[in-house]
Amino acid sequence: MTVATVAISMTSANADDFTQCSESFYGGVYPEFTNDKLSNKTQALCMDGFAVMYSGVSRTPLWSAEHLDRKRLQQAKEIDREDSFHEESKLPESARASLSDYSKSGYDRGHLAPNADMANRSQQYDSFSLANIAPQSPRNNRYIWRNIESATRYLTQQYGEVYTITGVSFTNKKTKQLADRVLVPSHFFKAVYIPATNQAGVYYAPNDESERIEIISIDELATEIGIDVLPMLDSQTKKQAFDLPLKAGESSDLPADEPTEEPTWMLFVWAIIEWLLGQLQA
């Protein structure tokens, strides 16, 4: 079954739905559909601390948007994780995902706007809404995605603020379903824009156990998924993919083939190995 074949009665989103959370978007402008079919049966949701474009076709978010800064992340560090997965009461019952959809499915309940970005309990609670959740491959969720969420927070600390759009795509000809209701994305993405340097890039990963991930441009993402996630950016910024780090603390300024210095502990290990080799040869 494909996305286009699922029919649910639900209103389309309009610009006014995001007026209460425009701060989540760079320039106050939310992502634009370049493939109009994707806008079918969507609903805009202003959550506490982020914004969501929800699809009643897939019963998942298509994307979640956040504005991160150092103050918000500092507040987020002071809150321990409190899981509270729940159905979204703002949505019609016929369009909601349910907790039972994910039960024994083999997929994680993957956050788009992550819990670790949330600055207070209200934001944290909203992040566990199923309107912010999509079926995610366990290895992708627990390794690849965890790393890039940390890397995005690192970029926020480094540059002061970033805007992120995290979403899913359904590019396979046949789409898997959970409980014959929730569609399983083919890919996850996270677009990151750094206002301080006017640079943007996108993490793009297949929703499987392969641990593959690409860094692509905003324009390349739009071609893949039919959404311009950052419509306020100039054409050059959209064309050029910023070399996003894959882990927190990695330099994004060095060319890929330029060697980095060995950490101090590694130099110490090599010194011991060389000493032992010298003793054996003596």
Q: pLDDT of 114-130, one tens digit each?
A: 999 999 999 999 999 99
27: left (phi over 0), alpha (psi -120 to 50) or beta: left
* Neighbour count for residue 27 (Cβ, 10 Å): 13
- Please tell me the predicted confidence (pLDDT) of residue 17: 85
Has residue 13 got a pLDDT over 70?
no
**Distances 3 to 97, 137, 182 between C-alpha atoms, Å:** 15, 19, 10
- Please tell me the predicted confidence (pLDDT) of residue 240: 98
Over residues 65-93, mean pLDDT: 96
* Residue extents of the structural domains in the chain: 3-281
CATH of 3-281, one of 3.40.570.10, 3.20.20.20, 3.40.50.1100, 3.40.50.300: 3.40.570.10
Over residues 222-226, mean pLDDT: 97
State the first-to-last Cα distance of the chain, in angstroms, to the nearest integer. Answer: 70
More confident residue, 117 or 248: 117
**How far is the C-alpha of 192 from the C-alpha of 161, rounded, in Å?**
10
* Neighbour count for residue 121 (Cβ, 10 Å): 12
Label residue 138 by pLDDT band (50, 70, 90): very high
Over residues 71-78, mean pLDDT: 97
> Which residues, 6+ apart, have CB-to-CB distance to 26 below 8 Å?
67, 163, 193, 195, 230, 232, 233
- Please tell me the predicted confidence (pLDDT) of residue 249: 83
**How far is the C-alpha of 102 from the C-alpha of 179, rounded, in Å?**
8
Over residues 202-228, mean pLDDT: 97
201 and 242 in contact (C-beta within 8 Å)? yes
> Which residues, 6+ apart, have CB-to-CB distance to 187 below 8 Å?
168, 169, 171, 204, 205, 206, 207, 224, 225
66-70, 104-108, 234-238, 259-263: least confidently modelled range? 259-263
- Please tell me the predicted confidence (pLDDT) of residue 250: 79
- Please tell me the predicted confidence (pLDDT) of residue 3: 41
- Please tell me the predicted confidence (pLDDT) of residue 140: 96
More confident residue, 218 or 257: 218
- 120 marked among binding-site residues: no
74: left (phi over 0), alpha (psi -120 to 50) or beta: alpha
Check residue 95 and report its DSSP letter.
Answer: G
Has residue 252 got a pLDDT over 60?
no
HSE (side-chain half, CA atoms, 13 Å) at 59: 28
Catalytic one of 67, 86, 111, 187: 111
- Please tell me the predicted confidence (pLDDT) of residue 278: 52
Label residue 167 by pLDDT band (50, 70, 90): very high
Could you confirm whether 111 is annotated as catalytic?
yes
Percentage with pLDDT > 90 across the chain: 79
